[in-house]
Amino acid sequence: MTELTKSDAGAGTAQTAAVPAEAEPAIKRITQWGEIRHRFMANRLAVVGLIIVGLLLFAAAFAPLLAPYDPLHQDLANTLASPGGEHLLGTDALGRDQLSRIIYGARIAVIIGLASIFLACLIGVVIGALAGYFGKAIDSVLMRVADVFFAFPLLIGAIVIIIVMGRGVAPVVISLAVFSWPTVSRLLRSSILSVREADYVLAARALGAGTTRIIVRHIIPNSIAAVMAYAAFSVGSAIVAEAALSFLGVGVSPEVAEWGNMLSAGRDFLGVKDYLWVYPSIAIVLTVLGFVFVGDGLRDALDPKLR
């Protein structure tokens, strides 16, 4: 082990790094997935996580049906109403219904969380696969590029990009992805490095399989487990990062019903109208926990040795 992957622990999923060194050959995929599902469902926290994530997706999909009010509707005659009565979670400084804003906030969270991680994985998998399989010069160059992006602490890098692109959903997604992909690349690359020499790959090569076929049919499926667990975990992190950006005043526009915005606006009322920041906080915490549980469950299910 001469190359050290500094990313592994940084992602908060330290154990995933070395995952599929001895994963079963891809031939048994169907039964393998069945078993993974079985192991996942046996994990109580993972199931709780799945339920939370399901509810979140449901809220995001059916927000217009679920929300009692238009999240942007201002009622200046009824500002800062305490929770209860017509407004279950109260109203904000512009008289907007908090519950509706939280429900609509799920949309932004889901869109930004999924889109940014999907984008990060896409970039990361491509670059990581190339680097890991070809090694040598290509590996070296690609990994130095990854280093540059990795060297920017996420929030700082994201802020820099948003300064340039302006506030909004797309800039937030892009900025989160641009500084997250190196982790994916490193995960994939390090697991490819170990898979590359695995018996079944050697066997496939001996049987005359081409490079592309080996990468697509054998290496990626067996290395992807680490990436998937990371991705599930990271959706939560991305949602937190996105809320943090809004909290710092550089995320999506302040009029958008988004949890970080609500928190940021509610912060001025700390100790006076605490419900303004407490409810959006709960929404964020539950969401993150949901994804963490799912991520943990997935990791354990994919690699039972680790627990």
Partner 1 sequence: MGRYVIRRLGQMIVVLFGATVVLFCTLFILPGDPVGSLGGDKARDPAVVAELRERYGLNDPLPVQYGNFVKNLAQGDLGEDFTQRRPVTEILQPKLVNTAKLAIAAIIIDIVIGVLAGLIAALFRYSFWDVLITLLTTFAVGFPSFVIGMVLQKFFVVDLGLFPLISDGTLNSMILPAFTLAILDAALVARLMRGTMLEVLRADYVKTAVAKGLPRRTVLLKHVMRNSIIPVVTYLGISFGTLLGGALITEAIFNWDGIGLALVQAVQQQNNPIIIGVVTFGVAVFVLLNLIVDLLYAVLDPRIRLA
Partner 2 sequence: MRGAKSAKWVVGAIVVALAATACGGGNDNKGSDAKGGGVFRMGITEPTAIDPVNAQESEGMVIARALFTQLYDVSVDGKLIPKLAESGTSADGKTWIFKIKSGTKFTNGEVVDAEAFIRGWTRVAAKASASDVSYHMAGIKGYDALKGGKSDKFAGLSAPDANTLKVELDKADFEFDKKTAHAAFSPVPKVAGAGDNKKFNDAPIGNGAFKMKGSWNHNQSISLVRNDDYGLEKAKLDGVEFKILNPANGSQLEYTGFQSGEFDYARMPTPQLPVAKAKFEPQGEWYSADFSGINYLVVFNQNAPFNNPDARKAISYAIDREAIAKSVFQGMQKPATAFLPPSFSAEYQAGVCSTCVKQDKAKAKEFAAKGGLKPGTVVNFGYNTGAGHEEWVQAVAQQLKDVLGVEVKLDGKPFKEALATQQEKKTSGLWRSAWTADYPTADNFLAPLLSTAGIGEDPATGKAQGDNRSRYSNPKFDELLDQARQEKDAAKRAELYKQAEKLAIDTDQAVVPLWQRTQYRLVNTKKFDGIKMDFFEDPTLAEISLKK
Give residues in contact with partner 2 (CB under 8 A): 72, 74, 76-77, 79, 93-95, 163, 166-167, 249, 253-255, 265, 268-269, 272-273
> Closest Cα partner for 294 from 34, 45, 11?
45
Nearer to partner 2, 211 or 253 (CB): 253
Residue 243 in the binding site for partner 1 (CB under 8 A): yes
Could you give the CA distance from residue 283 to residue 13 in angstroms, rounded to a whole number? Answer: 23
Binding of residue 4 to partner 1 (CB under 8 A): yes
Give the pair of three-digit tokens for residue 242.
């996105």
Question: CB of 303 within 8 A of CB of 20?
Answer: yes
Nearest to partner 2 of 12, 254 (CB atom): 254
Residue number with CB closer to partner 2 (210 or 249): 249
Total residues found in the chain within this entry: 307
Residue type, 302: L
Q: How far is the CB of 73 from partner 2 (least distance, A)?
A: 8
Instruction: Report the partner that residue 66 touches, choosing among partner 2, partner 1, none (CB closer than 5 to 8 A by kind).
Output: none
Binding of residue 285 to partner 1 (CB under 8 A): yes
Binding partner of residue 192 among partner 1, partner 2, none, CB cut-off 5 to 8 Å per kind = none
**Nearest residue (CB) to partner 1, 31 versus 140:** 140
For partner 2, the closer CB: 105 or 132: 105
Residue 24 binds to partner 1 (criterion: CB under 8 A): no
Tell me if 92 sits within 8 A of 71, measured CB to CB: no
Dig out the tokens for 53 from the structure: 């994530």
Structure-token pair, residue 259? 């949890």
Q: Is 131 helix (H, G, I), strand (E, B) or coil?
A: helix
Asked if residue 267 binds partner 1 (CB under 8 A), the reply is: yes
Q: Which residues contact 249 (CB under 8 A, 6 or more apart)?
A: 264
Q: Residue 287 — φ and ψ, nearest 5°?
A: -60, -50
Query: Could you say whether residue 249 binds partner 1 (CB under 8 A)?
Result: yes
Closer CB to partner 1, 204 or 284, in the complex: 284
Q: State the minimum distance, in angstroms, from the CB of residue 292 to partner 1.
A: 5
Q: How far is the CB of 266 from partner 2 (least distance, A)?
A: 10
CA-based torsion, 94, 97, 99, 104: positive or negative = negative
Token digits of residue 34: 């069945």
Q: Does 102 bind partner 1 (CB under 8 A)?
A: no
Residue 256 burial (10 A CB sphere; 0-12, 13-18, 19+): buried
Angle at 68 between CA 271 and CA 104, to 5 degrees: 70
Find out whether 2 and 263 touch, Cβ atoms under 8 Å.
no
Window 118-157: contact mask with partner 1 (x via CB under 8 A): --------------------------xx-xx--xxxxxx-
Q: Does 14 bind partner 1 (CB under 8 A)?
A: yes
Q: Are 100 and 75 in contact (CB under 8 A)?
A: no
* Binding region for partner 1 (CB under 8 A): 1-2, 4, 6, 8-10, 12, 14-15, 45, 144-145, 147-148, 151-156, 159-161, 163-164, 236, 240, 243-244, 247-250, 263, 267, 270-271, 274, 277, 281, 284-286, 288-289, 292-293, 296, 306
